[in-house]
Each structure stands twice: as structure tokens, then as C-alpha cells.
Amino acid sequence: MSAGREPIVTVRNLRLWYYTRRGVYKALNGVDLEVMRGEVLGVAGESGCGKSTLGLTIMGLLPRNAAIVDGEVLIDGFDVVKPLREYYKKAKKFRPDKNEDALKRLHKEMTRIRGVKVTMVFQEPMTALNPVMPVGYQIAEVLLQHNMSLLAKRRLARARATKDDVKEALNFLRANDYAGLIEYVKAKGLEGLEDQMLAIWRRRDLHDLVKEIRILNMCCDPVNPIIERGLKYTARTNKLPAAPVIRQLVRRELVKEGYRKAAEFLGLLGMPEPEKVVRMYPHELSGGMRQRVVIATAMINNPELVILDEPTSALDVTVQAGILELLNELKQQTNAAFIFISHDLSVLYQVSDRVAIMYAGKVVEVGPRDAVFREPKHPYTQMLMEAVPTLEPHELKGIKGEVPDLRNPPKGCMFHPRCPYAMPICREREPPMVNLGNGHKVACWLYAGGERK
Ligand code: ATP
Ligand code: SF4
Ligand code: MG
């Protein structure tokens, strides 16, 4: 799907400081960024430049020592960092415990968005998964938290569908008429059935005949009348019934349905034998399989934005290639936007539509992928590109010097101590963001009228 023009997230002049015993780390120093609906924005930069901090801020998952000194993060117009910024503005002295109160307010407001609209995939899948729960339950739990009504509708649809209904619906699939299928199940009051059918129909690892048999078997799956009443309530209200016994029975039915949906979804993500995998524990899976599970938990609610923080760094290259292929497919199938954080430029080249390069808590260059990769303008981006190893022998040039100490970042352009083109103005004044056209922007005095002396 092509990238939309409307932004899903807008970050404006974001300044974030971490208060620690060793001093105040100025981790983000005026980040400006937009992510459009349906696009993949790659974010690159050396270790410690604030990539993860940016991702965590958008998710509202900051620690108590993180102060929002200025700026905003707007998700569909909702300002994520407002409580923290307001606290910082009125506090005479920053106190983590008071900041925590603001964080609690933020968490309350974020429950509507986090896990539904915006989700995040972390680098190490083992830390994102609960070691003592089957992975299917962990995927199902996301639905139980946010989309119980879908599970109830699916279960009811199977109980109500007759053999003829399913045969008719299968004809729509054979004709690739998905809109017709959706209309048909709606007219028959079988919402939720299309979700199950499409998942089986799109599984690549199943033979066509197996798919058809599975779909035809998907009817007249009876459900106890008491549970049925409870499921109807949940389907309508997205809540569990109040009576404890019925509540328990309905929940059990929803968990089973959640496992079913989890297996279907993992099948779509290319997991072999997903029905078995959902019953397994994280330690029984390989790294690549675990990362697929984590991606499934992030994607199952059809989020509008997914933040992936180094999702392939802990994987070996072949598994990494599989995950990147999967992300490219997801990009085609959904209209979600992705922020893909990685220090590996070759990975970013494969998945991104646009790329943002960060240095010392600032975006120094942003633009369409090919423009940034083929014609990097910022000296830092140019040096990063030269430091990428390739198969053809070429001289690898590291970037001289070190990432600045963020407790006391250099004045002017923060890259000036390492920049071979540094000019007097670079040491004095922060360079403005210059628009080079076609969405390619760079923060460097070389393009803003600075003169070399
Ligand atoms: P990497 O590529 O190593 O993951 P990164 O670009 O994701 O790096 P961040 O993790 O965002 O960088 O860190 C940015 C800066 O903030 C670093 O200097 C880091 O030491 C500091 N930092 C991050 N988290 C905290 C924290 N909870 N408390 C104090 N300082 C922190
Ligand atoms: Fe180098 Fe100056 Fe550009 Fe900074 S602003 S990257 S120091 S030329
Ligand atoms: Mg990081």
C-alpha cells in the first residue's frame, strides 16, 4: 500500500533529559520528525544517539528520571508527553517521584492507544515474552485486553454458520471477491467468519485442497446456550458478563478462540505448524520464531503505528532476511506505519521508504531512502555510509572521534569536533534544518550559507 500524506505521528522540537547521579544526560536535543500513514521510516545513528529513547517516548514508556524539557509528540492529534512537559515546566527542581505522578497520568491516557493504535517490538524477543506462558496465550492476551468482541463474534459465527453458508462464502474466496465475502457474512449476521476464512485462505504452507476442507469444516460448531448468551453480550459490549460463573465460562471460550486466532495469524506470518507452536513456551522456540511471535503480538490488533527497535540485531543473517521479508509483506498487506530503528544501514535500505539519521539526540538528515543513501548530504551521513562494509573490497573509513558526552554536549553543531568541514559558525550556532527539495532535509551550515574559512 502506498504511503499516505497524512502523518500518524508528529514529533516537534522534542527535548528529553535523563537525570542521573552522574549528571543530566541531554538525550534528545530538539527532534523534529513526521511519520506518514503506511510508510516505513528507518532511523539510524551511532549507539547512544537517542534512537531507543525516541521510540520509547512515542510509546509513552519512559522511566521516572526522564524529563520532557520541551516539545510535543502528537499521535493523531493526541499529545503523548503533555503531562511530563507540564510537570517539568512548573517544577522548580526536577524530582523523579513527582515526575512519576505525571507518568501515571500519561499511562492512564495511553491505555486507549498503546497496544491498539501504537505498538512496539524490542530487540531481544526473550525479554518481551513471558517465559512461563505458552506463546499462543501471549498473543491471545493482547486480543483479550483490547478486542474481546472480535473473539466473541468469531466464536458465535462458527456456531451459527450452516454448511450452505460456508459453501457460499467459499465461492467468494475462489473468485477472489473479498468485498463480496465481507458483504455476504454481514448480511447473514456471521461477522467474524470472514476473518477466519481469509486467514486460512491466505496460508501459503497449506495445499489448496486442505484449505477448502478446513474452511468447510468451519461451521455448526455448537456452543452451550448459556455461554452463547454471554458471548453475545461480549460481542456487543467488548466486556465480559458480570455474573462470575458465566464470566468464567465465557472467558475460557474466548481464550480458546484467542489461541485459534493466534495460530491463524502466526500461519500468515509464515510460521511452520502454527497450531503446535501456540502451545509452546518461548524457550522451546528459536530466536527467529520468537521474534515472529513478538511481531504477531504487535500486529494482531491492526495497529496504525509499529515501532521496531533493532528487531533483527539479535538474529543471524538468514533469520534476519526472513524477518525483513515478513516486514515487507506486512507493509504491503496493512496500512500501518513503521518506525524501524537500526544501526545497520544495509537493513534499513531494504525496508525503509524514508530514512532519518540521528546524531547526539537530533535528526541531522531525513529524506527519501534513495536520496539519503545515494546522495547523503550531511557529513555525518556521508561518513556513516563510508563505514558500511560491502562484499566488494573498499577501504573502510571509521568516523574519527567519539560521540559527545551528552552531559555537556558541544555548542553549535554537535558534530563539529568530528567534522572535517567544520567552519567557525559551526562552533557557535546550531545549524537550521535546510529543505533541499523532495522531502530531503539536512541540518548543516554547508547548505545554509555557512562559509569555510
Ligand atoms: P543503541 O544503539 O546503543 O541502542 P540508542 O541510540 O538507542 O543507542 P538510547 O538508548 O536512546 O540510544 O540512549 C541515548 C542516551 O541516553 C545515551 O547516552 C544513554 O546512556 C542515555 N540513557 C538511556 N536511557 C537512560 C536512562 N534510563 N537513564 C539515564 N540515561 C539513559
Ligand atoms: Fe560539519 Fe558544520 Fe555541517 Fe556540522 S554544520 S556537519 S560541523 S559542516
Ligand atoms: Mg537502542
Residue 141: half-sphere exposure toward Cβ, Cα within 13 Å: 12
Q: Is the pLDDT of residue 360 over 70?
A: yes
Q: Indicate whether residue 51 lines ligand 1 (CB < 6 A).
A: yes
Residues 269 and 361 grouped into a single domain: no
Which run of H or E residues covers position 267? helix 244-268
What contacts 283, CB < 8 A, 6 or more positions away?
131
Which residue reads 513503521 in cell numbers? 338
Q: Is the pLDDT of residue 2 over 80?
A: no
Judge contact between 16 and 82, C-beta under 8 A: no
Ligand 2, atom 3, residue with closest C-alpha: 444
Residues 137 and 269 grouped into a single domain: yes
* CA gap 333, 236 in Å, rounded: 28
**Domain span including residue 149:** 132-277
State the average pLDDT over residues 85-104: 93
Residues 271 and 310 grouped into a single domain: no
Residues 219 and 165 grouped into a single domain: yes
Residue 288 belongs to a domain: no
Residues 202 and 328 grouped into a single domain: no
What contacts 328, CB < 8 A, 6 or more positions away?
350, 351
Q: Which ligand has the minimum distance to the alpha carbon of residue 62?
A: 1
Ligand 1, atom 28, residue with closest C-alpha: 18
Q: Is the pLDDT of residue 33 over 80?
A: yes
CATH of the domain at 380: 3.40.50.300
Cell of 90: 512548573
Please give the tally of structural domains in the chain.
Answer: 2
| 388-397 residue pLDDT tens | 766 666 666 6
Which residue reads 491492526 in cell numbers? 302
Residues 161 and 269 grouped into a single domain: yes
Ligand 2, atom 7, residue with closest C-alpha: 416
State the average pLDDT over residues 353-370: 96
Residues 93 and 139 grouped into a single domain: no
Which residue reads 534544518 in cell numbers? 433
Which run of H or E residues covers position 43? strand 40-44
Residue 435 belongs to a domain: no
Residue 318 belongs to a domain: yes
| 363-402 residue pLDDT tens | 999 999 999 999 999 999 999 998 776 666 666 666 777 8
CA of 442 to the centre of ligand 2 (A): 10
Residue 297 belongs to a domain: no
- Pairing mode, if any, of strands 433-435 and 23-36? unpaired
Residue 440 belongs to a domain: no
| 293-312 residue pLDDT tens | 999 999 998 899 999 999 88
Residue 450 belongs to a domain: no
Q: Is the pLDDT of residue 3 over 60?
A: no
Give me the pLDDT at residue 75, please.
94
Handedness of CA 42, 72, 430, 414 (dihedral sign): negative
Judge contact between 241 and 233, C-beta under 8 A: yes
State the average pLDDT over residues 409-416: 94
What contacts 190, CB < 8 A, 6 or more positions away?
157, 160, 161, 165, 169
Residues 163 and 273 grouped into a single domain: yes
Q: What is the b/e burial string over 380-391, where b = at least 16 CB atoms within 10 angstroms of the residue's CB? A: bbbbbeeeeeee
Q: Which of 360, 376, 401 is the last residue of a domain?
A: 401
| 107-156 residue pLDDT tens | 998 888 888 899 999 877 778 899 999 999 999 999 999 899 999 999 99
Residue 411 belongs to a domain: no
Prediction pTM value:
0.89
Q: Which of 401, 426, 442 is the last residue of a domain?
A: 401
Residues 141 and 273 grouped into a single domain: yes
Residue 406 belongs to a domain: no
Q: Average model confidence (pLDDT) for the chain?
A: 91
Residues 149 and 255 grouped into a single domain: yes
Judge contact between 151 and 258, C-beta under 8 A: yes
Q: How confident is the model at residue 15 (pLDDT cuts 50, 70, 90)?
A: very high
Give me the pLDDT at residue 453, please.
45
Residues 108 and 153 grouped into a single domain: no
* CA gap 126, 140 in Å, rounded: 18
Work out which ligand 2 atom sits closest to the CA atom of 420: 1
Residues 111 and 153 grouped into a single domain: no
